[in-house]
Amino acid sequence: MGQLFSKKNKEVFSAPLGIDNPVTVQVLGICSALAVTAKLEPAIVMGLSVTVITAFSNVVISLLRKTIPNRIRIIVQLVVVAALVTIVSEILKAFAYDVSVQLSVYVGLIITNCILMGRLEAFAMQNGPWESFLDGVGNGLGYAKILVIVAFFRELLGSGTLLGFNILNYEPIQKIGYVNNGLMLMPPMALIIVACIIWYQRSRHKELQEESN
């Protein structure tokens, strides 16, 4: 048990949640961060979907890594990911159809998500199943964390709601001059919020700052 949760494994899991976040540090997965964060619910579902797919595709590729011919490894990775994406997509259609419609084609595009493909190639192909599982969960949750933060501010300030529940659209609040900002619902605002998160993270962690020439 101690070996399963060794210091190295804890770091593999926790690093993507902070100091090595796939979105704010590695700057991956930005497209879906722009597309699915206008509301909090689809952002949460998208984040959890990517987490599940990344974790289990990592495990499968890790188990097969010694038997996959090097020249077709990318094809094998895509087949594994496509199978898992199809399963997740069908589950969403069966149990969360409205959210599935909101996510539109972006669930299918998880197949080409650069975070997922990067972890398969950089980590799962060189490490055991348990370490790969932790890496997949960590990177998936790190991605989900940013999506949730962005969606929280976009839905709250853009629609005045959270998870569909009214938060700011009350007469007393509107009487003091508050108006929902429609600009928050446009994709460029997602990029601006992500940029603010990157700035905050790099201001706290000096080692992430690039040295100027």
Pairing of strands 161-162, 165-166: antiparallel
Separation between Cα atoms, residue 207 and residue 172, nearest integer Å: 46
Q: Give the bridge partners for 162, in sequence order.
A: 165
Q: Give the bridge partners for 161, in sequence order.
A: 166
pLDDT tens, per residue, the chain with 213 residues: 556 677 888 888 888 888 888 888 888 878 777 778 889 999 999 999 999 999 999 999 999 999 988 899 999 999 999 999 999 989 988 988 888 887 877 787 788 788 888 899 889 999 999 999 999 999 999 999 999 999 999 999 999 999 989 998 888 888 888 888 888 988 889 999 999 999 998 888 777 777 665
Angle CA 209–15–125, to nearest 5? 110
Both structure tokens of 26? 């590695």
Contact 189, 154 (CB under 8 A): yes
Contact 28, 22 (CB under 8 A): yes
Count of beta carbons in the 10 Å neighbourhood of residue 138: 27
Three-state DSSP at 107 gives: coil
DSSP type of residue 212: P
Separation between Cα atoms, residue 159 and residue 202, nearest integer Å: 30
The helix or strand, by DSSP H or E, that contains position 204, with its residue range, turns out to be helix 187-204
The helix or strand, by DSSP H or E, that contains position 195, with its residue range, turns out to be helix 187-204
AA letter at 51: T
Contact 53, 116 (CB under 8 A): yes
Q: Residue 83: which residues within 8 A CB-CB, separation 6 or more?
A: none
DSSP type of residue 162: E
AA letter at 178: Y
